[in-house]
Every structure is written in structure tokens, then in C-alpha cells.
Structure 1
Amino acid sequence: MGRYVARRLLQMIPVFIGSTLLIFMMMYALPGDPVRALAGEQHVDQAQIDSLKQQLGLDKPILMQYVIYLGNLLQGDFGTQIASQRPIAEVIADAYPVTIQLTFFAFTFTVIAGITLGVLAGLKPESLRDRGLLLLTLLLISVPSFVLGRLSQYFFAFQLGIVEPNVSLQENWTELLLPASVLAALSLAYVARLTRTSVAENLRSDYIRTAVAKGLPRRRIVTVHLMRNSMIPVVTFLGADLGTLMSGAVVTEGIFNVKGIGSLVFEALRRREGATVVGVVTLIVLVYLLCSLLVDLLYAVLDPRIRYA
């Protein structure tokens, strides 16, 4: 297991470099000048612009800028935001805790509700509850997130008055429940459908028939034999989905005024703050790589037949 983890960590290095280099070059290849954009309509001396570019290292070739960025990153320096001259690590530290809370609620709701609905439907395929689940998940997949967010805001906040329509600057966990539910809706639909399909397929497997023939209790068959094998594809999806949720949802955070990573990226793109976008994406790439490694390690826990030499 130790050798496998070490090998996976080494494999992550080229993935990390390739993904961050790609987004780095894409951001700095966009038209426009972020330094000149700070002045807006005001006239700024070219010497001042050149001086600020030299100070931020924007006067160097793009590959040299990337090498310098990686060197600073190894020291925990994500760069400096052009507009506010604040360290990007500090800007991310202000926004990321909100996204982590939102992700925690959304992921918990996805796992509990999605797997429960999927198992109930998969144990009785082609039944009324199975067809009802397929209809519900199809509806959640078809409705765009901004429509679902506005509808939830209208009914639960403006009509019923049980929640606040927007998240305040001093947010508490209750204000995040509604946006977390909207954020989790699409993932819940996929998890429920994937769980239902996996359970229904494994229910017809030979090892399940053997367990039934041996007279094992139904609860043991479902929880020990059926669930462990059925959860492998679900865990794979949840691992990738966790990275997606933690990267922040621009639409959901915009609707509910959540000041998280999604809003930070949107504002940075609008101001063409390439350094901020690259810093956030770098953190997101690290989250994705870590989630991928954890998922691979969970395979051996779920299925004893999987072993890592």
C-alpha cells in the first residue's frame, strides 16, 4: 500500500504541472491589460504601468512567469492580487471557509439522500417507487441550477418565509442550508440513479443468489454483500463530485449572495485578475488530486478482492 501511495503521489506531479500551466497560459493569453484596467477611464502614465508590471513580474516571458509562480508556490506564496495588492492566499482564506461549509452540507445531503433513495429503488426495480425516483431525478437533471435556485428562493423565502432569501455577510449555518440543497440537487440525482442501477445489477449476481440459498438474513445480504460491491462506482463519482463542490458554484453562490470561491472567481474573471484565478484553480487542482487518491484507497476497503501491490 505504501508503494502504491508513493507511486500515485509521483504521478500527481505531472498532472498538477500540466493543469496549472494550461490555466496559467490561458489566463495570460486573454486580450487586455489587467494593470491598465485598474485605471479605468483615467489617463495613466506608461512609465507607471511599466513600473507596476515590473513589480508584479508581468514584464517577463510567460514561461518564466510560470516557473517563478511554481517556485513561490512551494513556499506557500500564491501571488498578489493586482487590484487590492493583497496576498492571494489571504483572499482565498477569507472566501474558502464559506465554500467548505456549503460543500459540507451539500455533500452530506447528497450522500444520505442520494444513496438512500437509490438503494430503496434498486431493491424493487420496476416498482412504483423505482419509477418515481427515475422521474424525480430526471426532473432535477433537466432543470437548470439557476431556475431551481430562483424557485427555491421564491417558495421557501418569499412565500413561506422559513429561510432568508440571501446569505448575510455574518452567515450562520442555517442560512447555508437552502443554497446547499440547490447545489446538491444535480449531484443527488446522479448519485441516486447510479446507486439504483448498481444495486439492481448486483441484486441479480451469482454471489447474491448464493447468499440467499445459504439462508443468510436479508439485512446481512444487503448491508454486507450487496452494498459494498454496489458502492464502488458511487464512491468514484462522489470523489470527483466532492472536488467539484469544493471548487464553488458560481451560479448558486451568485443567487444566494454567498461570498465563497465561486464569487471570488467570477469577480476575478470580470476584472481579468489572472493571478487570482490561477491561485484558486491551483488550490482546486490539489483538492481534486487528493480526492482521487482517497477514492482509490477506498476501493480496497469496499472490495477485499482489490489489493495494491
Structure 2
Amino acid sequence: MGRYVVRRLLQMIPVFIGATFIIFMMMYALPGDPVRALWGERAPDEAQMAALRADLGLDDPILVQYWNYLTGLVQGDFGTQIASRREVIDVITEALPATLRLTAMAFLITVVVGIGMGVIAGLRAGKKTDRGILFVTLLLISVPVFVIGYLFQTYLGVRWELIEPVVQDSEDWSQLFLPAIVLASLSLAYVARLTRTSIVENRRADYMRTAKAKGLTQSRAVRVHLMRNSLIPVVTFLGVDLGNLMAGAIITEGIFNIRGVGDTVYEALKSREGATVVGVVTFIIVVYLVVTLLVDLLYAVLDPRIRYA
């Protein structure tokens, strides 16, 4: 197991470098000059612009800039904002808690509701309950998240006044419940359908017939044997989806006025603060890599037949 973990960690290095290199190049290939933008409509001072570019390293070749960024990451330096001269790591640390709370609640809803719906539909395949769940999940998949968000906000918040239409305090978990449902809607639909398909397939497996022949009750056979094997593809999806939820929170935060990473990225894109955008994406890349490793290790827990040498 230890050698497998070391090998996977080594494999993450080129993946991390490649992913950060692509986003770095894409961000700095955008048109516009962030240093020139500091002067607004006023005529810029060329000497001051040149000094500022030299101070920030923006006059170096692009590959040199990326190398400097990469070596700075190793030391925990995510760069500096051009306009405010704040450290990017401080900006991310300030915005991250709200996004993490929203993502965590959405992930919990996805796991509990999505797997629960999938299990019910799988055990009652072909019946009205199954068809109803399939219809609801198909509806959630078909409607974009921002449409669901605006519908919930308009009817539940504005017309019926059941909730606050926008989040007033991102530290209040109760105010994040509706945005978390909106954020989790697409993911829980996929999880429900994936769980349902996996359970339907595994119910016909030989080990389920053997378990029943040995005298196990239906509930114990489902809980001990069926669920563990059926959850393997679901865990794979959830591992990838955790990063998707964090990235998708950008849209949800905009709808419900949550001051998180999404708002930070939006403002950074408007002002061409490339270091901030790259820093946020770098953090999400690290989340993807770590969660993927944890998912692979979790396989051995779910299925005793899987062993990592």
C-alpha cells in the first residue's frame, strides 16, 4: 500500500505541472494589459508602468514567469495582486471558507439524497417509485443549474417569501441550505441514476444468490454485500464531483450573492488579476488530485478483493 501511495504521489507531479501550465498560459494569453488598466482613463506614466512590470516580473518571458510562479508555489507564495498589492494567498484564504461551507453542504446533500434515491429506485426497479425517481432526476439533468437557482430564488424567496432571496451571512449554515440544494441538484441526479443502475446490475450477481441461499435476510444481503459492491462506481463519481462542486459554486455564489471564491474569480477576471485566477484554479487542482488518491484507496475498503501491492 505504501509503495502504491508513493507511486501515485509521484504521478501527481507531472499532472499538477501540466494543469497549472495550461491555465497559466490561458490566463496570460487574454487580451489587455493589467498594469495599463491601473491608470483607467488617465494617460499612463510609462516609467512607472515599466517599474511596476519589473517589480512584478511581468516583463520576463512567459516561460520564466511560469517558472517563477511554480517555484513560488513550493514556498507557499501564490503571487501578488497588481492593483491592491495583496498576497494572493491572503485573498484566497479570505474567500475560501464561504465556498468550502457551501461545497461541503452540497456534497452532503448529494451523498445522502442521491444515494438514497438511487437505492430506493434500484430495489424497486420497474415500479412507480423507480419511474418517478428517474423522471425527477432526468428533469434535474435537463434544466441548467442557474435556471434552477433563479426559479428557487424567485418563487421561494421573492414571491412566497419563505426564505431570504440572497445570503446575508455566509457563516450561517441555515442560509446556505437553499444554495447548497441548487448546487447539488445536478450531481445528486447523476448519483441517483448511477446508484440505481449499479444496484440493478448487482442484484442479479452470483454472490447475491449465494447470500440468499445461505439464509441471509434481504436487508442484511443488501447492506453487507449489495451496497458495498454497488458503491464503487458511485465513489469514483463522487471523488471527481467534489472538485466540480467547488468549481460550480462560482455560478451559485453569483445567484445568491455569496462572497466566496466565485466572487473573487469574477472580480479578478474583470480586472485581469491573473495571479488570483491561477491561484484559485491551482487550489482546485490540488483538491482534485488529493480526492482522486483518497478514492482509489477507498476501493480497497469497499471491496476486499482489491489490494494495492
Q: Residue 92 of structure 2 aligns with which residue? A: 92
Q: Residue 59 of structure 2 aligns with which residue? A: 59
Q: Residue 158 of structure 2 aligns with which residue? A: 158
Q: Residue 234 of structure 2 aligns with which residue? A: 234
Once residues 215 and 304 of structure 2 are traced to their aligned partners in structure 1, the CA distance between those partners, rounded to angstroms, is 23
Superposed CA RMSD in Å reads: 1.1
Contact 2:170 2:258 in 1 (8 A): no
Once residues 169 and 205 of structure 2 are traced to their aligned partners in structure 1, the CA distance between those partners, rounded to angstroms, is 53
Q: Residue 76 of structure 1 aligns with which residue? A: 76
Matched, 1:168 2:151: no
CA shift for structure 1 position 62: 0.7
CA shift for structure 1 position 212: 1.3
Once residues 170 and 73 of structure 1 are traced to their aligned partners in structure 2, the CA distance between those partners, rounded to angstroms, is 29
TM-score by length of structure 2 reads 0.98
Secondary structure class of the residue paired with 1:166: coil
Once residues 169 and 264 of structure 2 are traced to their aligned partners in structure 1, the CA distance between those partners, rounded to angstroms, is 14
Contact 1:81 1:275 in 2 (8 A): yes
Q: Residue 40 of structure 2 aligns with which residue? A: 40
Contact 2:121 2:130 in 1 (8 A): yes
Q: Residue 273 of structure 2 aligns with which residue? A: 273
Contact 1:248 1:261 in 2 (8 A): no
Structure 2: gaps (5+ residues):
none
Once residues 87 and 211 of structure 1 are traced to their aligned partners in structure 2, the CA distance between those partners, rounded to angstroms, is 59
Structure 1: gaps (5+ residues):
none
Secondary structure class of the residue paired with 1:43: coil
Contact 1:99 1:248 in 2 (8 A): no
Deviations 1:195-215 (A, max 9, x none): 000000101111111111222
Matched, 1:2 2:8: no
Secondary structure class of the residue paired with 2:35: helix
Once residues 57 and 129 of structure 1 are traced to their aligned partners in structure 2, the CA distance between those partners, rounded to angstroms, is 61
Deviations 1:219-260 (A, max 9, x none): 110001000000000000000011111235222111100111
Contact 1:114 1:191 in 2 (8 A): yes
Contact 2:149 2:255 in 1 (8 A): yes
Q: In structure 1, give the amino acid aligned to 2:227.
A: M
Matched, 1:112 2:135: no
Deviations 1:57-114 (A, max 9, x none): 0000111111111111111110001121110000000110000100111000110000
> Aligned ranges for residues 8-47 of structure 1 at < 5 Å?
8-47=8-47
> Aligned ranges for residues 222-261 of structure 1 at < 5 Å?
222-261=222-261
Contact 2:265 2:277 in 1 (8 A): yes
Runs of 4+ in 1 over 3 A off after TM superposition: none
Q: Residue 285 of structure 2 aligns with which residue? A: 285
Once residues 10 and 66 of structure 1 are traced to their aligned partners in structure 2, the CA distance between those partners, rounded to angstroms, is 21
Identity of aligned residues (%): 66
Once residues 16 and 38 of structure 1 are traced to their aligned partners in structure 2, the CA distance between those partners, rounded to angstroms, is 32
- Mark the CA change 1:36 to 1:169 in structure 2 (over 3 Å): closer, same or farther: farther
